[in-house]
Amino acid sequence: MSQALPENIRLLLFHKQAISSRLHFLRLAHGVCAFEPLPVAAKLAKENEIPSVTHHPTCYLPYAETYFKLAAGSLRSEPEFSAVVYTAAITITIYLVRFTALDPPITAVEAAGGRFIALTEARSCPPIELELLRRVYTAVLG
């Protein structure tokens, strides 16, 4: 497998149905941020705050495609969206990544221990994840 993501990077993956614009988020066993959970005491920065040091999220796509056993090009970064999370130890940047297939790769995601959820199914997520999903929903669907 490709090299794992740095500890200060998370990906938030989603699928948007091209015809209906139905939005589904990837949820792993630990939460909506791949591939490690957000620290419990993490605080989400303001919506317009950008990370002080940025990486181009495309460099992390091969790892995610390998993780889910997807073909190259199955994921696309959405570089116009990012979020910043602060902890006592580190600052974490969250990048948005879209599944490019017409239909969500349900089987591949389930084989990796994840599932797709609608925003209405995220009620049990921690408040920080709910706010992240709200921001993504607003950014993607306007």
> Pick from 36, 15, 42: which is nearest to 96 by CA?
15
- Coil vs helix vs strand at 97: strand
User: Does position 24 have pLDDT exceeding 90, yes or no?
Assistant: yes
pLDDT of 53: 62
Scan for tokens 């589904």, then name that residue: 24
User: Does position 2 have pLDDT exceeding 70, yes or no?
Assistant: no
- The answer to whether the predicted template modeling score (pTM) of the entire model surpasses 0.85 is yes
pLDDT of 113: 95
pLDDT of 58: 84
Q: What would the mean pLDDT of 63-77 be, rounded to a whole number?
A: 96
Side-chain-side CA neighbours of 74 within 13 Å: the count stands at 18
Query: How far is residue 62 from each of residues 40, 41, 124, measured CA to CA in Å?
Result: 28, 30, 30
Q: What would the mean pLDDT of 57-79 be, rounded to a whole number?
A: 93
User: What does DSSP assign to residue 134?
Assistant: H
pLDDT of 52: 65
Tokens describing residue 28: 């792993």
Residues in the chain: 142
Q: Using 50, 70 and 90 to split pLDDT, how confident is the model at 51?
A: low
Share of the chain above pLDDT 70, in %: 94
Q: What would the mean pLDDT of 92-116 be, rounded to a whole number?
A: 95
* Structural domains in the chain, sorted by start: 9-141 (3.90.79)
User: Does position 40 have pLDDT exceeding 70, yes or no?
Assistant: yes
User: Does position 98 have pLDDT exceeding 70, yes or no?
Assistant: yes
C-alpha to C-alpha distance for 20 and 59, rounded to whole angstroms: 30
8 A C-beta contact, residue 89 and residue 3: no
pLDDT of 70: 97
Question: What type of residue is 41?
Answer: A
Q: Using 50, 70 and 90 to split pLDDT, how confident is the model at 54?
A: low
